[in-house]
Structure 1
Amino acid sequence: MGIRCGSYSGDATQHPRRRISSYRHRVRNELCEVGNMSDRQLIDSPRAWLTVVATFFSSAVALGTVYSFGAFFQSMADDFGTGKGSTAVIFGLTTFSFFWLSLITSRLSDRYGPRPVLATGAVALFVGLWATSNVNSIGIGYVTFGVGAGIAAACAYIPMVAHVGGWFEKSRATAVGISVAGIGVGTLVMNPLAARLIDLYSWRTTYRIFAVVGSLILIVGTLMMARAPGEAGAAPSRVREAFRSPTFRRLWLAALCYAIALFIPFVFAVPYAKERGISPVAAATLVGLLGGSSVLSRIGFSWLTNRFGTFRIFRFGFVLCPIAFTTWLLAGSSFATLAVFMLIMGIGYGSFVAVSPLVLADLFGVVGLGSLMGILYTACGLGALIGPPMAGRMIDVQDSYTMPMLVGLGLGLIAFLLLTLLPTTRSGNILVPGAQHEESQGTGSEVAVAMTAFDETLMELEDWLEP
């Protein structure tokens, strides 16, 4: 039962009941002050970092399972007797479910806290993967994997990252960067692991192993998570506020174009490599390289935002997309060039994942951040539903990967150009409409701005190294 904070005014000397009432009000106010002090002490505390660990491993398992689909792709297509376009729909539906259901799970997490939401994700992961391992029709697989793994990912990522942001002030960028790096680690580890297990057993047995081990890890994460200090319930919905903002609408459209391109190599880099004589495990390692490079970029770019600004880093990640697809066009059957392509793609992808929460916080503040992230990431879900099935259909019809590569390159350029139209502050953050920023500073103050950013970077490094 919570304590209601308030103040009492009036003459309490005339009646014993009034004296008791006055005493109760004083006690409540004193307890509230103690509670607020306790909340402040928890910010940036070791308890806060425990939520980072939980979010890291939960997202690694849930999203690693989803993004390792490329390792299962050909085995499932052969088993079901389907083409690339139809098989890619599984990944598209799963990622679409993940991002769009995150709108619901974020609201539920704001209202009820992260633990019941993550526990639901553990159940969904087990049921979805185990059911998928027993299906004999790809249509049923659309439901079992698409919904089961999609719910698990929606519970394990965006709501948990939003709670991590509420646990920190001084080290928020670093904490969020480490938390979202779990996706990259999961992608790095689970793709070659899945390929190896499929070689040893089968894709069905591999999903059963993932179901048991993955759900257990999510249950442990449930015990480690907690509501951020000072959070009392559901934050107000930010949907209308977000889409009334021209800046947000442009961000959403850029994210849609970027996501259509981004998820093409998640599904088709492995089949492309296999068709050119690269071994299954080595081919699966390509997606792992994408995940590994995204780990470094998520942590590194989160830290560099203190030096170069959040939106400048965010925009840099987008420009890497067309560069990466150009590399893929030139790769041919060279494993080394394919590896470079996936590394570049991973760096840009990691920048988007790590910095987008910070850009949204700059625009709207941290209240309801989980809801805002969910709204932005609906663009990613729609992009995943469009990109891989569209690319698979192009490959089936033309028996060539060239057209999907060109489409990815073009959409990456469009996404970057959309971001260049948004104004930024001199320190590299996105310009909040109607707010006063450092644009009013003269040219002579640029050195001071740079020195301030450098000092903040050093302070962040010192905080990171403190025992």
Structure 2
Amino acid sequence: MVPTIEIDSTRAWVAAVAASTANGMAFGTAYTFGTFFDSMADEFGAQRGSTALLFGITLLFFFGFGVVAGPLSDRFGRHRLFVVGATLFVVGLWLTARVSSIEVGYVTYGVGVGIGSGCFVAPLTAQVGQLFVRHRGLALGVVATGNGVGTLVLSPLSESLIASGGWRSGYRVLAVVAAVIFLAALPAVRGRPAAPDTASSGLAPTGFLRTPAFASLFTSGTLMSVGLFVAFAFVVPFATDEGVSSAGASRLVAVIGLASIVGRLGLTSITDRLGSVAVYRAALAIQPVAFVVWLIAGGNYPLLVLFAVVLGVSYGGFVAVAPALLIDVFGTEDLGRKMGAVFCGFGIGGLIGPTLAGSVADATSGRSAPIVLVLVILVVALATTSPLRRAATAPAPVR
């Protein structure tokens, strides 16, 4: 029998912190891939496009599998999907440390770690959204903050592990750390809302997919992810190309994680006053600014740090407010299904962005062309958010 959790209770906050920790492990591991990038590419003699594809496949399943995991978690319970996902994640990391080619890594890391994360990231976020009413925005901000903390901690840890024992040893250690964290989080996330908030937009179970608001959320999120994951994949190798030390380049990922915490907590704290749509659009508007800084930075480390800070604030605010905006527009009914559908767009962007940027970088032998391409994509992402201006206060009719 699954225990119940009272809405807005202390027990609900425990679940939120546990979800934040588990998701932080998943996001932190994925987002520090850039730290492992050069070591893996050098050992396998792989070009940047094919190495970035490993990251892209991981992100596709990481976010895209939410479209499957969301409905399953609504039906069978989030904790059951968490057990399956945690197992796949740990085994995938351990096996990645033993691969003999980048192509095998597509399966162990891309599919194993990706699907493992996809089993629980969106469902646990949806669970927290349903466990809170009065403090929903703050609780979702806490969950999103875990992603930034995971990146902040695991980036320097990964750099240290690679320096001391190589990238294979690094993944083995991360597998052990993940197993401990997931085992500790499982009891806390096992539960269901005692009095579920079933606020609904009045749509049929899949009717939200045919609304302009969903199309806007999905498209803008997909395009935003193209840019974000290009940064996570290439901030380290592009910086080392410009003469920055590997340790200094890896610290940029940690700076993104730290700044994202500021964005998650800072921007979500003003959501109640400004509205989720305004904060969502503001986060999207800030991201292209970061890429302009990256374009002109070259090997100038202070400018690279500025790029990391601006990007972190923008992406942190985006991922924190997106679930709240989804609930504002479509309600909490079947939230796992809705969250999974939006997350699927992040996965598509994650597959396209790093792979495309890596191929462009290989073809042009430089960093400017892929960064300019991403800039254009991010401007288009902001332009697609017009339908959201009215959506949060005027849900679409039943279709």
Structure 1 length as normaliser, TM-score?
A: 0.81
Which residue in 1 is equivalent to 2:294?
328
AA at the equivalent of 1:62: A
After TM superposition, the structure 1 = structure 2 runs for residues 64-79 of structure 1, keeping only pairs within 5 Å, are 64-79=28-43
Which residue in 1 is equivalent to 2:192?
227
Displaced runs of 4 or more, over 6 A? 235-239
Deviation at 1:231, TM superposition (A): 5.1
- The 1:237/1:283 distance shift into structure 2, 3 A limit, reads farther
After TM superposition, the structure 1 = structure 2 runs for residues 41-60 of structure 1, keeping only pairs within 5 Å, are 42-60=6-24
Structure 2 stretches of 5 or more lacking a match? none
- The 1:232/1:248 distance shift into structure 2, 3 A limit, reads closer
Which residue in 2 is equivalent to 1:291?
257
Deviation at 1:431, TM superposition (A): 4.2
Match of 2:363 among 384, 397, 402: 397
- The 1:232/1:309 distance shift into structure 2, 3 A limit, reads closer
Which residue in 2 is equivalent to 1:432?
395
Match of 1:346 among 312, 323, 333: 312
Are residues 1:359 and 2:322 paired? no
Which residue in 1 is equivalent to 2:285?
319
Are residues 1:156 and 2:129 paired? no
Which residue in 1 is equivalent to 2:51?
87
Deviation at 1:166, TM superposition (A): 1.2
Deviation at 1:101, TM superposition (A): 0.9
Structure 1 stretches of 5 or more lacking a match? 3-34, 436-467
Which residue in 2 is equivalent to 1:267?
233
AA at the equivalent of 1:399: S
AA at the equivalent of 1:165: G
Partners of 2:390 and 2:306 in 1: how far apart? 31
Partners of 1:367 and 1:396 in 2: how far apart? 46
Partners of 1:347 and 1:184 in 2: how far apart? 10
Quick check: 1:118–1:219 contact (8 Å CA) kept in 2? Answer: no
After TM superposition, the structure 1 = structure 2 runs for residues 54-453 of structure 1, keeping only pairs within 5 Å, are 54-225=18-189, 226-230=191-195, 240-420=206-386, 422-424=388-390, 429=392, 431-433=394-396
Q: Which moved more, 1:322-331 or 1:88-97?
A: 322-331
Structure of greater Rg = 1
Deviation at 1:274, TM superposition (A): 1.1
Partners of 1:173 and 1:403 in 2: how far apart? 38
Partners of 1:277 and 1:192 in 2: how far apart? 19
Deviation at 1:251, TM superposition (A): 2.1
Partners of 1:218 and 1:237 in 2: how far apart? 35
- The 1:415/1:334 distance shift into structure 2, 3 A limit, reads same
Partners of 1:131 and 1:422 in 2: how far apart? 43
- The 1:215/1:237 distance shift into structure 2, 3 A limit, reads farther
Partners of 2:24 and 2:15 in 1: how far apart? 14
The C-alpha deviation readout for 1:41-75, integer Å capped at 9, x for no partner, is x2111111110111111011111111110000000
Deviation at 1:167, TM superposition (A): 1.1
Quick check: 1:422–1:430 contact (8 Å CA) kept in 2? Answer: no
SS in 2 for 1:414: helix
Partners of 1:431 and 1:296 in 2: how far apart? 31
Quick check: 2:197–2:332 contact (8 Å CA) kept in 1? Answer: no
Quick check: 2:239–2:298 contact (8 Å CA) kept in 1? Answer: no
Quick check: 1:238–1:372 contact (8 Å CA) kept in 2? Answer: no
Percent pairwise identity: 37
AA at the equivalent of 2:37: F
SS in 2 for 1:43: coil
Partners of 2:135 and 2:196 in 1: how far apart? 18
Question: Relative contact order (C-alpha < 8 Å, sep 6+): which is higher?
Answer: 2
Corresponding residue pairs, total: 395
The C-alpha deviation readout for 1:275-300, integer Å capped at 9, x for no partner, is 12212121111111111111121122
Partners of 2:387 and 2:72 in 1: how far apart? 35
Partners of 1:269 and 1:285 in 2: how far apart? 10
Deviation at 1:237, TM superposition (A): 10
Deviation at 1:243, TM superposition (A): 2.0
Deviation at 1:239, TM superposition (A): 6.5
Deviation at 1:240, TM superposition (A): 3.0
Which residue in 2 is equivalent to 1:448?
none
